[in-house]
């Protein structure tokens, strides 16, 4: 499958019109928008118009020199048809989202200058060939998980990543807001979560085995108005924001703020601070009624801020040692008639599954929520390989496939010694391009439970936006094509063709100011000599 214009993700069908004609956008080009297409109309003027130096004023439907936005209910919701003729450009979608994705394709057709914030050469007239493009996504969940708990990304950086997602037709932003190393969302009834929990005194630099420290406070958080702005900005780009509030593990920042949330009968929780290193933290939430009520209060405010169907509760990497030693936890196991600490974790997750369901929302968690019994109605983010997702799908639960060994973008991109802070397996651009979200051992019926796929960006070794860019790109472009396009089986995918299209796409990323990893390896300032990582040799397991 090829695209002569270097389109990424590659569309299903491109029909070039004979004659070599082009449509020219000028200062006279207008926009006609049918009811329901306002998000694209606003985006065209604010983003594309600004880049090209064109006003894109409102105009009549029958204007010859026009961009026409319309809906067609015979198309699937995110499906679109982009038709370029001498009479203008028709952007037709099965929903407002479909029209928006058509506009993203038009932007690529107009060349890399369309990705800038102001025109390079005022007065030039961008053109696009006469053609018809028909396209629709393979998956409904095309996600990016961004961890802002380990290293805080200011609000403007989050908004920028939403724009980058939209440019690649990704539509779910998994917002990892809390962890041992920081609490990043304002909760008004519990102000200490941000007063204390949002910053740490110092930070491990590199992998947890590194002897290096950054000896200055690190932190930050989003106010509730910041969150409202982020959610609204995402919605204008047809991106759903799914918040993650971790329970019962990955919670030391919350315990540092409110020590009574921890296992006070075995740990001096009052002495705990926000964690300053990486790894799996032993300090977890106590399975008490007080903890449940506290987090119900947290989630009440979260639900007011995020209208998403799914709420992510983490549920991963919860060490059970404190529960084993805690008389209170053991009494709770006996009181509930549970078999062990795994079932206690399942009870904890099940409580919030029922609580969210009663409020019309759905719980999603990492695949550890399978341990001790899968919570009814819960969906699974399958991160420890495909196995958790396969088990969940076979049990009738929805799944987002994000196996660590395939699409964790904090993993290193090369075995070259210049690769900065090398973590995990080598996952090259080609490796990501050959990732297949649906395991072949699922039946057709089971495979319908695969909502889609997600790339995860964990930021332990990414101290700023440029480091995030380096780890995410260009691999996120390959992932976006896997999530959107119908591709052949992995061995038959045309990676050489993808590389040719990436030659055009790198120019778009340059225009956007993305500090991606060049194909030839890291630039000198992208390296981190002497900073310890955790490389894993050999091919990753594919299970």
Q: Where in the sequence numbering do the catalytic residues fall?
A: 179, 250, 317
**Is the C-alpha dihedral spanning 274, 280, 281, 286 positive or negative?**
positive
CA angle 240, 32, 25 (to 5 degrees): 95
What would the DSSP string read from start to end of 449-465? TEEEEEEEE--TT--SH
Nearest to 427 by CA among 405, 396, 451: 405
Contact 12, 101 (CB under 8 A): no
Give the three-state DSSP class for 354.
helix
Contact 152, 225 (CB under 8 A): no
Strand partners, 16: 131
Nearest to 43 by CA among 92, 118, 109, 99: 99
Give the three-state DSSP class for 439.
coil
Nearest to 471 by CA among 159, 145, 7, 238: 145
Strand partners, 241: 173
Q: Cβ contacts of residue 374 below 8 Å, gap of 6+?
A: 346, 380, 392, 395, 397
- β-strands 57-58, 30-33 pairing: parallel
Q: Is 196 exposed, middle or buried (0-12, 13-18, 19+ CB in 10 A)?
A: middle
Q: How far apart are CA 11 and CA 2, in angstroms?
A: 9
């Amino acid at each position: 499958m090829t695209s002569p214009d270097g389109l990424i993700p590659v569309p299903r069908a491109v029909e070039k019109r004979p004659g070599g004609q082009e449509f020219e956008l000028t200062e006279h080009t207008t926009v006609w928008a049918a009811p329901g297409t306002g998000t694209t109309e606003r985006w065209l003027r604010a983003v594309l118009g600004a880049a090209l130096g064109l006003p894109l004023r409102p105009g009549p439907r029958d204007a010859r020199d026009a961009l026409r936005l319309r809906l067609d209910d015979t198309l699937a919701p995110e499906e679109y048809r982009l038709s370029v003729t001498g009479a203008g450009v028709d952007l037709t979608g099965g929903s407002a989202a479909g029209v928006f994705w058509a506009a993203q394709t038009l932007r690529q057709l107009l060349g890399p200058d369309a990705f800038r914030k102001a025109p390079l050469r005022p007065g030039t007239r961008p053109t696009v060939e006469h053609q018809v493009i028909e396209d629709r996504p393979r998956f409904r969940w095309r996600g990016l998980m961004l961890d802002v708990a380990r290293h805080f990304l200011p609000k403007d950086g989050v908004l920028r990543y939403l724009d980058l997602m939209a440019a690649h037709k990704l539509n779910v932003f998994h917002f990892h807001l809390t962890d041992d190393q920081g609490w990043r969302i304002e909760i008004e009834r519990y102000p200490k979560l941000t007063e204390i929990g949002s910053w740490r005194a110092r930070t491990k630099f590199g992998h947890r085995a590194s002897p290096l420290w950054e000896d200055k406070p690190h932190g930050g958080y989003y106010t509730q108005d910041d969150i409202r702005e982020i959610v609204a900005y995402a919605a204008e780009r047809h991106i759903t924001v799914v918040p993650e509030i971790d329970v019962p593990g990955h919670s030391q920042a919350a315990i540092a703020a409110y020590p009574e949330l921890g296992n006070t009968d075995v740990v001096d929780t009052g002495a705990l601070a926000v964690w300053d290193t990486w790894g799996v933290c032993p300090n977890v939430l106590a399975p008490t009624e007080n903890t449940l009520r506290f987090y119900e209060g947290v989630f009440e405010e979260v639900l007011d801020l995020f209208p998403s169907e799914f709420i992510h509760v983490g549920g991963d990497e919860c060490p059970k040692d404190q529960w084993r030693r805690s008389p209170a936890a053991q009494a709770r196991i006996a009181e509930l008639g549970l078999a062990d600490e795994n079932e206690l974790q399942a009870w904890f997750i099940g409580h919030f599954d029922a609580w969210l369901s009663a409020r019309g929302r759905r719980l999603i968690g990492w695949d550890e929520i399978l341990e001790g019994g899968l919570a009814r109605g819960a969906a699974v983010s399958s991160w420890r390989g495909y196995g958790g997702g396969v088990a969940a799908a076979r049990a009738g639960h929805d799944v987002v496939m994000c196996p660590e060994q395939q699409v964790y973008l904090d993993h290193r991109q090369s075995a070259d010694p210049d690769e900065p802070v090398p973590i995990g397996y080598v996952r090259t651009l080609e490796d990501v391009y050959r990732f297949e979200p649906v395991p072949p051992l699922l039946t057709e019926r089971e495979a319908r439970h695969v909502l889609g796929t997600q790339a995860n960006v964990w930021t332990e070794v990414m101290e700023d936006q440029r480091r995030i860019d380096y780890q995410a790109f260009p691999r996120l472009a390959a992932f976006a094509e896997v999530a959107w396009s119908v591709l052949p089986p992995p061995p038959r995918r045309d990676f050489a063709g993808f590389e040719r299209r990436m030659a055009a796409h790198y120019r778009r990323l340059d225009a956007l100011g993305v500090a991606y990893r060049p194909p030839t390896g890291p630039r000198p300032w992208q390296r981190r000599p002497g900073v310890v990582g955790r490389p894993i040799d050999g091919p990753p397991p594919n299970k």
